[in-house]
Structure 1
């Protein structure tokens, strides 16, 4: 029985010891031509979503694909492409989800205006309900007043 405790103890300790795996880092820093290009790069990558993380911008993500996409964005910038062309390239490749602020079109019109429309409908229903309720409460009071006038 004592012989079984040693392997079990070793298994438990092996499971408890955390692995010291490090995420794959960016091997070399990005090289910008000037300060304006760096500022444009940071502004652009803040508007793009990491396709793996999905809840972080391309600028904030530490995923390997984010490193690769940042390099690709910088290369496209240095080729002379505009921000709109770079966004179009990424949308064609990964879909409109890559944009934090997607363009308004027929496919996502409900997403843009749906919450406001629901709020207006709810406000309208509330107003109608309050007015009906007010009339229902006012009607018995008016009936009582009419009866009192008839009694006099």
Structure 2
């Protein structure tokens, strides 16, 4: 169910994972996903669903907070073969740009991959990839809400 303002209510982690699975059909190689939300809001759970929707093993997905970056093998539409998953939480507020440390430029140049970044606060506001999907999660009662938006255009999967 889409709530007022284009937010999708997710009552539990299973619904969050299913939302990620549904979003996978919207993706193309080269896409950049920026995941925002408080700690524990379900960002990694959403990635688990994306991996499942792209034909990968969701059991391999874990939060890369301490290792900063993981890559999952997938078999998605349009030739997507990898999902790069970065978690920049520990790099927030550093003076040096974190995307250079992690090789984000090289990941975004991967012609067979989608890149998902948790805690993208310190990334430049635009120009990283031709297609950028903003995924915002927030707490709502016992569940969560998700907003998915392509740069300035609402994501078709969640249109009312």
Q: Same fold (TM over 0.5)?
A: no
TM tier relative to shorter chain: under 0.3
More helix by share: 1
Please, what TM-score do these two structures have when normalized by structure 2? 0.23
Between Structure 1 and Structure 2, which shows a larger proportion of strand residues? 2
